[in-house]
Amino acid sequence: MKAAKMVRYFSVWLLCALLTLVGCNASNNPGGWTQDTIEQKLQSKYSFVELKLTPAGEGKYTGTAKSKEGETLAITITQNKEAKLLKYDFKGDRGWFEDGKYELD
């Protein structure tokens, strides 16, 4: 009886540990980041004065940002969960253009 309980407890513990690991890896996948996470990542990298994103379909966002220099930027974001990839590009009203990506190796 004690052995059966011990096996059951170990099985539950192992299942919880595996689910935790899978959940942690999923949140690191840029292809599955939430809108809030994307905004935080871009904000920390570029220090925008303003940043607003709007969902534009599955794994896609569009929006605008304003740089510290006052340039208004149009933003396009595309995510791919399977490829563990997020691509973005900015087009400014004064000519600034930048594209980039976040990916999980």
**pLDDT tens string 57-79:** 999 999 999 999 999 999 999 99
pTM, full prediction:
0.72
For the chain, what is the total number of helices (H) and then of strands (E)? 2, 5
Distance CA 15, CA 76 (A): 39
What is the domain partition of the chain in residue ranges? 2-103
Region 82-104 average pLDDT: 96
Convert the pLDDT of each residue in 9-49 to its tens digit: 555 444 444 444 444 455 799 999 999 999 999 999 999 99
Half-sphere exposure of 44 (CA within 13 A, CB side): 5
Question: Which of 19, 47, 29, 4 has its CA nearest to residue 86?
Answer: 29
Which DSSP symbol is given to 57?
S
